[in-house]
Structure 1
Amino acid sequence: MTAVGPVACLDLDRTVIYSAAALDLRTPDHEAPRLLCVEIHKGAPLSFLTEAAAVTLRELQDVATVVPTTTRTPAQLARVRLPGPPARYAIASNGGHLLVDGVADPGWDAVVRDRVAACAPLAEVYAHMQARSGTFVLSLREASGLFAYAVVERAALPAGWVDELTDWCARRGWTVSLQGRKVYAVPAGLTKSAAAAEVVARCGGGGPLLAAGDSLLDADLLDAADAAIRPAHGELAATGFTRPHVAVTAATGVAAGAELLDWLRDRAVSAAMSVSGSL
């Protein structure tokens, strides 16, 4: 196939888009950036990016295949309306679903079933989390029939609870990630990087993979990328995640989202020019 431009896989929550609680605005109110709402949930605004970030995202779309890459289920992802045209490809359920023009690809669904077969079944992990839940767990849910997550009260979360869950899950081929108020338990075979590699292949395989993410569930994606960036906040920042090819923003919160989109656009422009010059 003919070489094409770069593919940019972007985690959404706390990377590109932010809830009001995660904005982390550090300026006086009258100097705060103008915000664009990109998600409504139950009739109320939920997720935002800056207007400047929205412009940059459109510029990135002009030079790269932009792929929303999220742990959200397809239904949760459908609530997000990013600037620009609908994405040709999107990755949902932490790589569990590859959406093509908004529809789950059945071939990829089959691949995922094979990848998670070696891990303990969801029912076992869900039952364990349910048995060890307390008043600090506000809700416990299954997602896409693939993984589970608990919405927790962070202030009431018992010391060691996440570490104990992590150890228990690891012995059964599952990983655990704490993101905001959610504790995710995900089969190790369910990865964003595998789905990203599939998108790169479908796009011709000629352009580099660029990526951005903030959580442990994004680590494999950042590792797999040719160049990547993470915000200076979040789970990866807390664990000191570093790689030679992974940049870190100077800003935190929604300002980091704008900064990392600038960085990705500049890398995508350079990559697109390089690919164009080689044809």
Structure 2
Amino acid sequence: MPAADRPVMVASDLDRTLIYSAGALMLAMPDARAPRLLCVEVHEGRPLSFVTETAAGLFAELAREALFVPVTTRTRKQYRRVRLPVAEPAYAICANGGHILVNGHTDHDWHRHIRQTLAASCAPLEEVRERMWHTADPVWVRKERTAEELFVYLVVERDSFPESWAKDFAGWAEERGWTVSVQGRKVYAVPRPLTKSAAVAEVARRAGAGEILAAGDSHLDADLLLAAAHGWRPGHGELALSGWTAPHVTGLTASGVVCGEAILHALLARIRDRARTRPARPAPRTAPTPDGRS
């Protein structure tokens, strides 16, 4: 099938890209002008993540016009707390590409492939976890976590967290095939081969997708954005703060929850422009009659 006739696939990060915690809303406007919010995640009985009411409607339009694939560093358990304002996606990617969910169920063949790849190409989880937790200072560490036995992260006090520690630890980890990413109050150490883009490529192959569009805010999203036909980066987050860019990635100026709206608008505009410019198919020829006339 020609690429132009295959479905568009939208592969997007979730946290601080399409959904936002209360601390990430960045509602800088007067209270009376703040957007109405819809809660899309509850944790331990408390509302945790939100989208704007307008964004909720845009989600529904996007799901009708493209193959929407959430792509997150969240574990499967954390992802399943999220209730996006659309039907459950046919595919979702969790644990930074370590798990593909198909209709909500884990694809064990993909996970086995990832495990084999990591074992062959980078230092083991135990070595990195021990180094991270041994060198981190309890003064600024709130929590230490292992995610799906694939990567590790810290929850830190940002006011007292030393950026020099992150730089030193990143240099040590780089030599062992791992990357370090600071996202808000979380500091991640992730094996370099564990990428969102690899899982997205596998989903695109299975779904027969044509153009891939992407959005994300952190360094763990950079490979996803680079692999897409076009991508969008919020005006906040790791990528914006570092000035990261690429020729086919649009850096938006909006920040906070209203940027989720801006991303959804941009995705839909791209999809609709593509549909308008798609070449018309020639009319099918009628079958020839027995006397040879068509």
Normalising by structure 1, what TM-score?
0.96
User: 1:115 deviation in Å?
Assistant: 2.2
Gaps of 5+ in 1: none
Q: Name which structure has the greater RCO, CA cutoff 8 Å, separation 6+.
A: 1
**Is residue 2:220 matched to residue 1:245?**
no
Range moving further from structure 2, 265-274 or 105-114: 265-274
Work out the CA distance in 1 between the residues paired with 2:248 and 2:269.
Answer: 15
Counterpart for residue 264 of structure 1? 267
Gaps of 5+ in 2: 283-294
Aligned pairs (5 A) from 1:1-16: 3-16=5-18
One-letter code of the match for 1:265?
L
Counterpart for residue 140 of structure 1? 144
One-letter code of the match for 1:102?
G
Counterpart for residue 206 of structure 2? 202
* Per-residue CA distance 1:206-227 (angstroms, 9 max, x = gap): x200000000000000000001
Normalising by structure 2, what TM-score?
0.91
CA shift in 2, pair 1:197/1:22, >3 Å: same
Work out the CA distance in 1 between the residues paired with 2:173 and 2:281.
Answer: 47
Counterpart for residue 38 of structure 1? 40
CA shift in 2, pair 1:230/1:277, >3 Å: farther
User: 1:5 deviation in Å?
Assistant: 1.2
Range moving further from structure 2, 69-78 or 249-258: 249-258
* Per-residue CA distance 1:123-156 (angstroms, 9 max, x = gap): 0000001111212111111000100000000111
Counterpart for residue 71 of structure 2? 69
Equivalent pairs: percent with the same residue?
51
Work out the CA distance in 2 between the residues paired with 1:165 and 1:60.
Answer: 40
Please give the root-mean-square deviation of Cα atoms over the aligned residues, in Å.
1.4
Counterpart for residue 171 of structure 1? 175
Counterpart for residue 258 of structure 2? 255
Work out the CA distance in 2 between the residues paired with 1:191 and 1:163.
Answer: 21
Work out the CA distance in 2 between the residues paired with 1:147 and 1:227.
Answer: 28
Contact persistence 1:5–1:275 (CA under 8 A): no
Of 89, 102, 109, the residue aligned with 2:111 is 109
Work out the CA distance in 1 between the residues paired with 2:189 and 2:241.
Answer: 19
Counterpart for residue 225 of structure 1? 228
Work out the CA distance in 2 between the residues paired with 1:19 and 1:169.
Answer: 29
